[in-house]
A and B are shown apart, each in its own frame.
Chain A
Amino acid sequence: KQEVTQIPAALSVPEGENLVLNCSFTDSAIYNLQWFRQDPGKGLTSLLLIQSSQREQTSGRLNASLDKSSGRSTLYIAASQPGDSATYLCAVRPNAGGTSYGKLTFGQGTILTVHP
């Protein structure tokens, strides 16, 4: 059974800092990995999706890396801003078929606070 763990559970940083969020998964047979952002009272917004054959993806100040063999992904946020404050979730999609097809397994999230 796939398990996804995110460290740290919460992070508070001053504005302008570069930071790294970590995600680890137990089963390396994944199709892709996705990072989401969740604002209070809102749904999930997809930030980056990395296919299993890729090593990293970039979007603006965000960079996500994937090391499938070691079961790890990191989300790097450059020059953090107060507007980046939210919960960040990673999720993996299995390579398997059957009822697992398309199923996402989520980590518990990292609560990020960026203070001015």
Chain B
Amino acid sequence: EAGVAQSPRYKIIEKRQSVAFWCNPISGHATLYWYQQILGQGPKLLIQFQNNGVVDDSQLPKDRFSAERLKGVDSTLKIQPAKLEDSAVYLCASSLTRGRSNEQFFGPGTRLTVL
């Protein structure tokens, strides 16, 4: 079974530029999560999708971050414009459903450096 795929693996941009990350979850997984992991910290949930609907985006900085999952499969996370403090690893995870007993499987992450 293929795992969660993410691209690109690394990205370096100047501040005020825009950037987009892509995630392909495990086939058949209805729930998709984007996490931000700043160096030395644990991952923090940014947004959670159930199929193509947003369940929780309470910690997403909506003035610069946006995410979509149009067909309930792949998802993109965009930052526009980027700030220095956005430097982090962005992890995508998926689970079968959003139930509490459903394990989340994580992708390798995209490491973003903002200069």
Contact = CB atoms under 8 A, between A and B. Distances in A.
Contacts of A41: 9, 108-109, 111
Interface residues of B, number: 29
B99 to A, nearest CB: 6
B104 interface: yes
Given A44-B106, A99-B55, A102-B102, A107 B48 contact: no
B4 to A, nearest CB: 7
A44 B99 CA distance: 20
Given A99-B58, A102-B95, A106-B44, 15 more contacts: A4-B42, A36-B106, A41-B109, A41-B111, A43-B106, A44-B93, A45-B106, A89-B43, A99-B55, A100-B56, A101-B98, A102-B48, A104-B45, A108-B40, A109-B42
A42 B41 contact: no
Contacts, number: 66
A31 interface: yes
A7 to B, nearest CB: 13
A43 B107 contact: yes
Interface string B52-73: 0001101000000000000000
A101 B95 CA distance: 13
Given A91-B42, A106-B42, A108-B42, A99 B56 contact: yes
A44 B44 contact: no
A91 to B, nearest CB: 7
Nearest to B108: A43
B111 A106 contact: no
Contact of B31 (A32, A102, A109): A102
B41 A102 contact: no
B80 to A, nearest CB: 25
A115 interface: no
A80 B22 CA distance: 37
